[in-house]
Amino acid sequence: MVHRPLGRTGLSTAPVAFGAFKIGRNQKIKYARVYDLPSDADTDRLLNAVLDMGINLIDTAPAYGTSEQRIGQFIGHRRKEYILSTKAGETFENGASTYDFSRQAIIHSVHRSLKRLRTEVLDLVFLHSNDDTHVLNQTDAAATLQSLKEQGLVRFIGLSGKTLEGARQAMQWADALMLEFHPADSSLQPAMDEAAVRGVAVLVKKPLASGQIPSEQAIPFILRNSAVSALVVGSLNPDHLRENLRLACG
């Protein structure tokens, strides 16, 4: 399998990353089909299968319910085998999301993620933006992430954003961006082009438009763009992930 560089970080990733939303949350979702959360046994099998098939970047977040805890529980012992990506700023508890981008909240979020994920360092932490302009210009979130990086608790930092302007602002300090990009929405292409020039990694979120676009259409389209390090796909079926990986590897 050919890996892609993760920007200027020195890391490389399989072209498909695993999005761990569905192992921890099934409330207030954007997917067309409802689903049950997997059992502990099924989660254990799934996460280990992900690593066994060669996917080496796992993306999670406090907003993904119990996802972080389950990753730590079931593959924490294989920590050296994968790049660990999480987020800060949004939390999902008791059926609702809350947002807090204050310095204290970002610090608390990172320490909580370290504990849940059973690791001493987080490879990537993204600001889980709900409003790029507000988060970047009216909070201390970006500066706080930079401080945590300097302390060695986080290796690389970035923005999971929604807008072209937000992505461009974040590139002043970010090592990576997480952006939506697929055949039905290529509006953030200019930011991706700029990121490639700057050496900022691009991870593509919602590559299948939350299940609205077939994998065989979306994956080749996305990976033709050389700015993309990996697309983040969530599935509870290892066979589906293997098929996505096959499509990604051509």
Q: Taking the CB of residue 100, how many other CB atoms lie within 10 A of it? A: 15
Confidence band, pLDDT 50/70/90 cuts, at residue 200: very high
Confidence band, pLDDT 50/70/90 cuts, at residue 122: very high
Which residues, 6+ apart, have CB-to-CB distance to 132 below 8 Å? 159, 161, 162, 163, 165, 166, 167, 169, 170
Ordered structural domains, the chain, with CATH: 4-248 (3.20.20.100)
End-to-end CA distance of the chain: 10
Note whether 207 and 233 are within 8 A (CB). Answer: yes
pLDDT at 176: 98
Query: Tell me: the pLDDT tens digits for 51-106?
Result: 999 999 999 999 999 999 999 999 999 999 999 999 999 999 989 999 999 999 99
CA–CA dist 207, 139 (Å, integer):
29
* pLDDT for 49 beyond 80: yes
